[in-house]
């Protein structure tokens, strides 16, 4: 029937089914027998067709002397349909939308363990794919935080977990403490670690948590849609989705954001109206606007695109660089991310759609700007790096002495000047430059000592690897491991926190060679356990097409620790690792 009561009842049923999906319980909606009973009691005998039913219904409405919506004949109520209230299921705890970089994206909820849609799904327009904040998505929605925090705490080793018992109470307290404006700020693990440190004076690390033990519904599901709402891809691995569709997303972003950021950036820097520049006109460094404390978010109007906002920069003389620029075009609101771009002899400022890509490019550009301003200290370092000649001899198969020297200097510059938070205006840039000048030499010496240890181990190991070639597959595996560790630009391309472990990793390879000679069968058994994990990692790495995936990067270092655990146990690992655990980690990454 098309009578209004039926549409009302169907909508009410759908609303209560949504409550079940959000609360993840299937005992809120009454069963079909009770709904049948409601209609059976109200509709008299002898009604056997749609036409006879509608005649009866309209007659009853006329007898009542009231419009249908006031008479409420056959209208179900929430009380009729609910066994009990789904406590705590509110719009605040289970919102219908999440805003990312100015784009309101729909959230849907589904309760079906094992289904690809189980949990909460964020519908991401293709043009905004590169702007999704992965760290914000770790938090899911407020109504799911308590469960996720409890299971994260449950995944801790018992000696750490016991400080937070009873876990349900601690998780509820954590959810309350990080509610409101604090919800979603930074990474969830970092927030939980900080809370445990504050509440229990216990120091935790990210590696202490076993994310692989969490069920799939506690990770955000992403559905990428085109401009017509059609699904292009779906999954819980945001990095993989970006590897597949990131280039298309960037193209669509640039198409939508067909406005130059120049006028907005000038407005932001000057705190007033933007000057009227010709379409595509760009500002050179000597014409850069002056700094202002303008609090507003700069807005881009419709205009022709420009390649760069500022060009030919050799110092920071263009005021404040905002974290983002608001781009408005018609009904669309997007955000662009300005970044310094390294051009070798100078830097330009350009705008990108991805905050991660902008951050990566900006860091290299900022390093170049510091290098241009610290020419004299850098020249001194280049002439006085301790042990450079010997290191270059050990590294000559990979790179020249000049290339090695440049990496050492660049890493020293990174550690001296590029600590978070990065400078974002001319005053903070010049203050950081002056601080870095004083630390540069000591940091360079510390880095040179570490790299000296790494290359000494590498040179010693190279001889042993030549002798081990007769062992075939194990020798080839070790050579591939060493080649991946000691690449041409390993000093710059390896996070410093991991670089300090390289001497241990290389010692581990040397110990494996010694043990291989004594017991090849044992090495073969351990390699058979290790290889499936290594092969999965290599396949995933090639599928990413160069797109950075933080979880895959973390897995790479877990593999190095697993090698130590299997082949050189006496060197010990900083956290417990096992083949079983890494298989679980890998499974959790595929959700």
Residue 311, by phi and psi: left (phi above 0), alpha (psi -120 to 50) or beta? beta
Answer yes or no: is 491 within a domain.
no
State percent of the chain over pLDDT 70.
Answer: 87
Q: Across the strands, what pairs with 340?
A: 349
SS (H, E, C) 166-179: CHHHHHHHHHHHCC
Answer yes or no: is 185 within a domain.
yes
Q: Are strands 325-329 and 347-352 parallel, antiparallel or unpaired?
A: unpaired
Q: CB–CB of 462/399 below 8 Å?
A: no
Q: CB–CB of 354/130 below 8 Å?
A: yes
Q: Are residues 190 and 245 in the same domain?
A: yes
Sign of the torsion formed by the C-alpha atoms of 456, 459, 462 and 463: negative
Q: Which of 81, 106, 133 is the last residue of a domain?
A: 81
Q: Are residues 75 and 220 in the same domain?
A: no
Q: Are residues 197 and 329 in the same domain?
A: no
Q: Are residues 267 and 187 in the same domain?
A: no
The CA distances from residue 236 to 42, 50, 125, 145, 239, in Å, are 47, 46, 16, 17, 9
Dist. CA 327–CA 333, nearest whole Å: 6
Dist. CA 296–CA 292, nearest whole Å: 11
Q: Which residue in 420, 408, 315 sits closest to 369, CA to CA?
A: 315
Is residue 424 packed enough to be buried (19+ CB in 10 Å), middle (13-18) or exposed (0-12)?
middle
Q: Where are the beta strands (DSSP E) in 156-208?
A: none
Answer yes or no: is 449 within a domain.
no
Sign of the torsion formed by the C-alpha atoms of 57, 58, 59 and 65: positive
Q: Are residues 158 and 295 in the same domain?
A: no
Q: Which of 210, 225, 252 is the last residue of a domain?
A: 252
Answer yes or no: is 411 within a domain.
no
Q: Are residues 330 and 301 in the same domain?
A: yes
Full residue range of the structural domain in which residue 282 is found? 260-370
Answer yes or no: is 289 within a domain.
yes
Query: Residue 456 phi/psi, 5° resolution?
Result: -65, -45
Q: Are strands 231-235 and 332-342 parallel, antiparallel or unpaired?
A: unpaired
Q: Which of 234, 252, 270 is the last residue of a domain?
A: 252
For 354-386, b where at least 16 C-beta lie within 10 A, e where not — what string? Answer: bbbbbeebbbbbbbbbbbebbeebbeebeeebe
Q: CB–CB of 8/74 below 8 Å?
A: no
Q: Are residues 190 and 265 in the same domain?
A: no
Q: In what order do the strands lie in the sheet with 103-110?
A: 97-100, 103-110, 119-125, 221-225, 231-235
Q: Are residues 132 and 230 in the same domain?
A: yes
Answer yes or no: is 264 within a domain.
yes
Dihedral angle, C-alpha 552, 556, 561, 567, nearest 10 °: 130
Query: What are 47's two structure tokens?
Result: 């009604």
Answer yes or no: is 129 within a domain.
yes
Angle at 89 between CA 173 and CA 178, to 5 degrees: 25
Instruction: For residue 341, give the 3-state DSSP assignment.
Output: strand
Q: Are residues 20 and 60 in the same domain?
A: yes
pLDDT, tens digit, 9 for 90 and up, residues 332-389: 667 888 899 999 999 998 888 888 788 989 999 999 999 999 999 999 999 999 999 9
Rg (the chain; Cα; Å): 31
Q: Is the peptide bond prior to 421 cis by the omega test (within 30 degrees of 0)? A: yes
Residue 112, by phi and psi: left (phi above 0), alpha (psi -120 to 50) or beta? beta
Query: What are 82's two structure tokens?
Result: 């609910």
Q: CB–CB of 516/474 below 8 Å?
A: yes
Residue 545, by phi and psi: left (phi above 0), alpha (psi -120 to 50) or beta? left
Locus of tokens 């290098």? 371
Q: Are residues 176 and 62 in the same domain?
A: no
Q: Across the strands, what pairs with 349?
A: 310, 340
Angle at 364 between CA 362 and CA 365, to 5 degrees: 60
pLDDT, tens digit, 9 for 90 and up, residues 302-323: 333 344 678 899 999 988 998 8
SS (H, E, C) 468-523: HHHHCHHHHHHHHHHHHHCCCCHHHHCCHHHHCCHHHHHHHHHHHHHHHHHCHHHH
Number of folded domains in the chain?
3
Answer yes or no: is 130 within a domain.
yes
Walk along the chain (591 residues) and give the pLDDT tens digit of each residue: 888 889 998 998 888 888 778 877 776 777 788 888 888 888 998 888 988 898 898 888 888 777 766 678 888 887 777 766 665 567 788 899 998 877 889 999 998 899 999 999 999 999 899 889 999 999 999 999 999 999 999 999 999 999 999 999 999 999 999 988 889 988 999 999 999 999 999 988 888 899 999 999 999 999 999 989 999 999 999 989 998 999 899 888 867 754 445 555 555 555 543 333 333 333 333 333 333 333 333 444 333 334 467 889 999 998 899 888 877 765 666 788 889 999 999 999 888 888 878 898 999 999 999 999 999 999 999 999 999 999 999 999 999 999 999 999 999 999 999 999 999 999 999 999 999 999 999 999 999 999 999 999 999 999 999 999 999 999 999 999 999 999 999 999 999 999 999 999 999 999 999 999 999 999 999 999 999 999 999 988 887 766 778 889 999 999 999 999 999 999 999 999 999 999 999 988 866
Dist. CA 316–CA 347, nearest whole Å: 10
Q: Are residues 221 and 298 in the same domain?
A: no
Q: Are residues 106 and 18 in the same domain?
A: no
Dist. CA 474–CA 515, nearest whole Å: 11
């Amino acid at each position: 029937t098309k009578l209004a009561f039926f549409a009302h009842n169907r909508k009410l049923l759908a609303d209560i089914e949504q409550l079940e999906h959000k609360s993840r319980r299937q005992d809120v909606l009454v069963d079909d027998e009770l709904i049948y009973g409601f209609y059976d009691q109200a509709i008299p005998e002898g009604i056997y067709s749609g036409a006879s039913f509608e005649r009866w219904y309209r007659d009853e409405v006329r007898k009542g002397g009231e419009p249908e919506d006031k008479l409420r004949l056959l209208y179900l109520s929430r009380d009729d349909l609910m066994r009990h209230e789904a406590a705590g299921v509110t719009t605040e705890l289970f919102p219908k939308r999440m805003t990312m970089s100015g784009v309101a994206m729909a959230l849907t909820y589904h309760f079906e363990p094992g289904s690809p849609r189980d949990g909460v799904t964020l519908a991401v327009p293709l043009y905004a794919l590169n702007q999704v904040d992965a760290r914000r998505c770790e938090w899911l929605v407020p109504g799911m935080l308590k469960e996720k925090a409890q299971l994260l705490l449950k995944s801790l080793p018992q000696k750490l977990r016991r400080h937070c018992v009873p876990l349900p109470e601690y998780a509820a307290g954590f959810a309350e403490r990080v509610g409101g404006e604090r919800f979603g700020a930074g990474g969830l693990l970092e927030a939980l670690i900080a809370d445990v440190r504050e509440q229990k004076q216990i120091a935790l690390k990210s590696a202490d948590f076993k994310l692989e033990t969490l069920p799939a519904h506690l990770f955000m599901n992403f559905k990428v849609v085109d401009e017509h709402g059609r699904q292009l891809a779906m999954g819980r691995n945001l990095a993989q989705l970006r590897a597949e569709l990131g280039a298309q997303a960037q193209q669509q972003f640039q198409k939508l954001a067909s406005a130059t950021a120049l006028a907005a950036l000038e407005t932001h820097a000057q705190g007033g109206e933007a000057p009227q520049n010709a379409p595509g006109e760009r500002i050179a460094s000597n014409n850069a606007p002056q700094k202002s404390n303008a609090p507003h978010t700069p807005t881009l109007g419709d205009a022709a695109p420009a390649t760069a906002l500022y060009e030919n920069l050799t110092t920071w003389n263009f005021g404040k660089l905002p974290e983002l620029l608001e781009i408005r075009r018609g009904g669309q609101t997007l955000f662009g991310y300005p970044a310094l771009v390294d051009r070798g002899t100078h830097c330009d400022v350009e705008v990108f759609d991805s905050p991660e890509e902008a951050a990566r490019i900006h860091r290299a550009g900022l390093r170049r700007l510091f290098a241009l301003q610290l020419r004299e200290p850098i020249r001194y370092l280049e002439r006085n790096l301790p042990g450079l000649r010997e290191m270059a001899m050990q590294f000559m198969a990979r790179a020249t002495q000049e290339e090695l020297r440049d990496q050492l200097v660049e890493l020293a510059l990174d550690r001296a000047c590029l600590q978070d938070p990065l400078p974002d205006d001319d005053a903070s840039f010049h203050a950081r430059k002056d601080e870095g000048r004083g630390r540069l030499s000591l940091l360079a010496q510390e880095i040179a000592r570490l790299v000296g240890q790494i290359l000494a181990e590498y040179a010693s190991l190279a001889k042993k690897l030549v002798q081990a070639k007769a062992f075939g597959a194990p020798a080839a595996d070790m050579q591939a491991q060493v080649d991946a560790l000691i690449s041409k630009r390993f000093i710059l391309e390896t996070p410093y926190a991991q670089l300090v472990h390289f001497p241990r990793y290389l010692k581990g390879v040397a110990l494996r060679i010694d043990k291989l000679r004594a017991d090849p069968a044992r090495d073969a058994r351990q390699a058979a356990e290790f290889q499936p994990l290594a092969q999965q990692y290599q396949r995933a790495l090639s599928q990413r097409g160069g797109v950075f995936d933080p979880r895959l990067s973390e897995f790479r270092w877990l593999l190095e620790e697993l090698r130590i655990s299997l082949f050189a146990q006496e060197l010990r690992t900083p956290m417990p690792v096992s083949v079983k655990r890494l298989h679980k980690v890998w499974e959790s990454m595929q959700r």
